[in-house]
Structure 1
Amino acid sequence: MSETSTMSKDATIVVVGAGFAGLSAASSLLHAGFQNVKVLEANARVGGRVCTTKPFKENVIELGANWIHGQQKNPVFQLAKKHNLLAEKSLLDRDKSSRDYFFKDGGKHLSEDLADPVTSLFEKLLTKANEDELGRKYRDMSRGDYLDVAFAKSRLAGSEDGSRIFEWCKRNECSNEAASSLFEVAASQLSEYSDLGGEFYNPLGSRGYQAILDILLKGVPSEIILTNKPVKRIQWDLNKKSQGAESREMSHPVKIICENDETFEADHVIVTVSLGVLKRQAGAMFEPGLPKCKMDAIETLGFGTVDKIFLRFSKRFWPEDCAGIQLVWDEGPEDKAIYDSQNEGDGWKKTWFKKICGFDTVARHPTVLCGWITGREALHMETLQDSDVRDTCVKLLRSFTGWSVPEVSQVLISRWGHDPRVFGSYSYIPKRVNGVRRQKALGAALPDLEESEPLQVLFAGEATHVNFYATTHGAYLSGIREAQRLINHYIK
């Protein structure tokens, strides 16, 4: 704190967005001694793509971020562990003793002896996909094509049911990539994404992600967070423009204009809106316009939709050791032939429900299942009535399991793809896209340090993090990165 100059304390900084990136940026700046910091949030609530709710009585449901991914050197995991926010040991032990039930349409239950070797092979192939040597070999292939080629060489490919389970694995992986299909994702990530050591899916305790959000909010006074302030335009380099027109200095080089025309002047603005928002609005949001390299990054990086369908039943109908009911189709959407045949036209809309991987149990909710759906099928699902989605899901559960499935008492559906403050869920690397180069361009500050008034517009958010994109810790660290960029600028 003492290292920062007096000038840094007087610098006016506006952070656009109160998600993990925006809050970590604001907290870091305040801790370093900056005194004029404001956070503009478009929604009435803070948290961004972290959205913890309580629709089914007392226990929480995560409409957005669900887990902490990885443990070693993960600041979000460390924060949760420090404050005892992780799931109780009893819940973790229960998860280890449960298993997925795989069913084919028509009620055929597929045994663990068949499912386990296929899912294990799939995980091994994914690990190899990120190795440098393989990345060079399959650089121009999609991940779906690479997986099909690799699986065809295994002894499991001779089993028809094994091939169908492998299709389910690819469909399930789409939720990790937020993609419409693995045939649209890079075979190797062509990036430097890092899986942190330790357990990958770390569940949170009874207060969910809201508990971590509350910890972050303790570092940011509530009076500097202004909600219901959607930004429509960011004008920058105003001093240069003013000198050319009227030969006078503006008090600040940046002006942020909200949708209600309320304005905020700043020396620096940290933009943490989603890549989905940038794809829709970047062309009109910035004045002057963004440089070509940044616009190219916005256009070429992928940003997909992952939705959840929560079904609360009148009573539990699945076995105690069932962690999820997984749906295996004879002709699933991740079959190459099916994908190719549906690449043009709207025929896939008639079978949108085939993109649902299955229905997983939900911690602390003994009568609730959660269905996962991604990509264009998720976007189409979002346009349907809740009752239509509910009825379709019940039909699937009955036809696949043959069990006596009771009526649904409540349904809750996320609709991230049509949320005008997000337009999707998280980023991915499409095939033939150099992830590192595009992500670095997306995260570059404007103007750069060679200019007379540098670092006017800075960018944070999960899509800007080369190592940890698509994660909450990636978003969190990107906010700290941009705050530190400003801190270093004023220390010099």
Structure 2
Amino acid sequence: MSSCSGPEHAKVVVVGSGFAGLAAAARLVEAGFENVLVLEAKERVGGRMHTIKPFSENVIEVGANWIHGQKGNPLFKIAKEENLLSKGTSACSETAEDYFFKENGKQVSTKVVDKVSSYFSKLTDKASDDELKRKHRKLTLGAYLDVVFGECSLAATEDGQQVFEWCKRNECTDEACSSLYEVSASQNSNYTALKGEFFNTLGPGGYRAVLDVLLKDLPSGTVKCNAPVKSIQWDLDKKGSCEDEMYPVKVVCENGQSFDADHVIVTVSLGVLKGKATTMFEPSLPEEKLSAIENLGFGIVDKIFLFFEKRFWPDDCAGVQLVWKEGPENKDVYESLSEGETWKKTWFKKITGFDAVARHPTALCGWITGREALYMENLQDSEIRDICVRLLRSFTGWSVPEVSKTLITRWGSDSHVRGSYTFIPEGVDGVKAHKALASPLPPEDKCRGRKHLQVLFAGEATHDKFYTTTHGAYLTGVREAERLISYYAD
């Protein structure tokens, strides 16, 4: 069973059991690979996808929430074929709308919200236009939006400016960043949005039901949980011939257990690579790959679930959105808080609002990103809960009851993930970085024959068009599986 054997004998170790890892394993097994092992650091499969039932028979999505886009989306296809999609696209009725409240308790008119939100969407779409890209190439996404919005009549009103700040704060959730003033404007066009409904809500089984479709085709014992990887020793075949070494790669777990392999597919998050890349691989990763890991951004998006005994918001309310007079995505406020730790006193201002939760009629979910999210993770649940209730009461003026149950995510503090998903910082060539991260080891110009497929890389951060998404992660897993399949077909 050497690296010269066929696919039925090739020993493949996949590191990580998120969508990338399980997609790779499922495709390899389908193609006839019989020695596939998936090592998962956590006690569960799924990675940044985590569906649970903490308080009732209904699911809560702690991680990935929606399937983004339809046309060309493999996860949407799976969910549709397996009848796993929800009949609706949101947690509320089709007529429900978000209520936008200012901190003085007044509600912003729907007309203003709709105009600003619609224009904001056009601006973020236009960030991919070649002419605008050239004109604003050196600006951050936040600065670009400020310049163009400032030329619009909507910017002349206080409500317009404050809703615009909310839009930028909300966009931080899509980017998983601390601020749009740290995200590249010119690189915004790299991401490709698939056509069709953007927020496709899953049915009663949640995202776990989609994951189970992949798991059901894997032989028993394929996935080994509670097996965090300490090191990946590659290029063990020093003489460059496949007869000289039984297996060119060795994977060593933190408990000392080791696994020899012909090929290893690494699907850990960019956050884990940022923390461990310099020590996990022996020999060290090429400089180009290390630079990509360092330069790409990996942000945090956390959720604050508040469960109440009774619903206190109107039936036509899809969520309560918080509009600040001086929010953190206001340019002057951002610049004043860019240094020092004063921002910690107002970390809660980064919460965009509280949305209704699918299948939980008395629950709301708050969203928070970036450094404020990481700071929040160090606070007690009770303190976070109390602050959120105060915000709801002061902004709406409604009679908000006490929270009966709380669930708060802490993705930044999770040592096996260290964040949520990737973004492109100012001054970084995203396409180049994504492709460098995706390239197999050893590098093409250094090896001969089969040797270049010792270590392969997958995960949303390795896709130059679908980074941040579950379908991006899935597609990269399939990509690396196909790389190995083609390798043995040659």
Secondary structure of the corresponding residue to residue 59 of structure 1: coil
Equivalent residue for 2:210, pick from 195, 209, 212: 212
Q: Which residue of 2 is the match for residue 304 of structure 1?
A: 299
Structure 2: distance between partners of 1:346 and 1:241: 54
Equivalent residue for 1:152, pick from 150, 153, 158: 150
TM-score by length of 2: 0.97
Structure 2: distance between partners of 1:128 and 1:222: 49
Q: Which residue of 2 is the match for residue 192 of structure 1?
A: 190
Q: Which residue of 1 is the match for residue 481 of structure 2?
A: 483
Q: Which residue of 2 is the match for residue 19 of structure 1?
A: 18
Structure 2: distance between partners of 1:188 and 1:97: 36
* Cα drift, residue 191 of structure 1: 5.4
Deviations 1:229-269 (A, max 9, x none): 000100000011799xxx99321000000001100000110
Structure 1: distance between partners of 2:240 and 2:443: 20
Equivalent residue for 2:247, pick from 230, 248, 252: 252
CA shift in 2, pair 1:482/1:187, >3 Å: same
Q: Which residue of 1 is the match for residue 356 of structure 2?
A: 361
Query: Residue type matched to 2:477 in 1?
Result: G
Contact preservation (8 Å) 2:127, 2:188: no
Structure 1: distance between partners of 2:111 and 2:6: 67
Contact preservation (8 Å) 2:347, 2:372: yes
Structure 1: distance between partners of 2:328 and 2:398: 25
* Cα drift, residue 189 of structure 1: 2.3
Structure 1: distance between partners of 2:239 and 2:254: 23
- Would you identify which runs of 4 or more consecutive aligned residues in structure 1 move more than 2 Å? 91-96, 188-192, 247-250
Structure 2: distance between partners of 1:191 and 1:238: 40
CA shift in 2, pair 1:29/1:286, >3 Å: same
Residue 175 of structure 2 corresponds to residue 180 of structure 1: no
CA shift in 2, pair 1:440/1:344, >3 Å: same
Could you tell which deviates more after superposition, 386-395 or 137-146? Answer: 137-146
Could you tell which deviates more after superposition, 247-256 or 315-324? Answer: 247-256
Aligned positions of 1:56-71 closer than 5 A: 56-71=55-70
Secondary structure of the corresponding residue to residue 325 of structure 1: strand
Deviations 1:204-238 (A, max 9, x none): 11111011011111122231111100001000000
Q: Which residue of 1 is the match for residue 84 of structure 2?
A: 85
Structure 2: distance between partners of 1:156 and 1:237: 59
Q: Which residue of 2 is the match for residue 268 of structure 1?
A: 263
Could you tell which deviates more after superposition, 350-359 or 96-105? Answer: 96-105
Equivalent residue for 1:229, pick from 227, 230, 244: 227
Query: Residue type matched to 1:212 in 2?
Result: V
Secondary structure of the corresponding residue to residue 422 of structure 1: coil
Contact preservation (8 Å) 2:106, 2:395: yes
Deviations 1:33-66 (A, max 9, x none): 1111100000110000000011121110000000
Deviations 1:384-403 (A, max 9, x none): 00000000000000000000
Structure 1: distance between partners of 2:90 and 2:43: 34
CA shift in 2, pair 1:391/1:326, >3 Å: same
Residue 410 of structure 2 corresponds to residue 412 of structure 1: no
Contact preservation (8 Å) 1:190, 1:434: no
Q: Which residue of 2 is the match for residue 7 of structure 1?
A: 6
Q: Which residue of 2 is the match for residue 29 of structure 1?
A: 28
Could you tell which deviates more after superposition, 443-452 or 225-234? Answer: 443-452
Aligned positions of 1:460-475 closer than 5 A: 460-475=458-473
Secondary structure of the corresponding residue to residue 314 of structure 1: coil
* Cα drift, residue 93 of structure 1: 9.8
Equivalent residue for 1:137, pick from 120, 135, 138: 135
Q: Which residue of 1 is the match for residue 456 of structure 2?
A: 458
Structure 1: distance between partners of 2:287 and 2:5: 36
Structure 1: distance between partners of 2:442 and 2:131: 37
Tell me the matched-pair count: 484
Structure 1: distance between partners of 2:461 and 2:94: 32
Query: Residue type matched to 1:126 in 2?
Result: T
TM-score by length of 1: 0.96
Q: Percent identity?
A: 62
Contact preservation (8 Å) 2:91, 2:358: no
Q: Gapped runs of 5+ residues in structure 2?
A: none
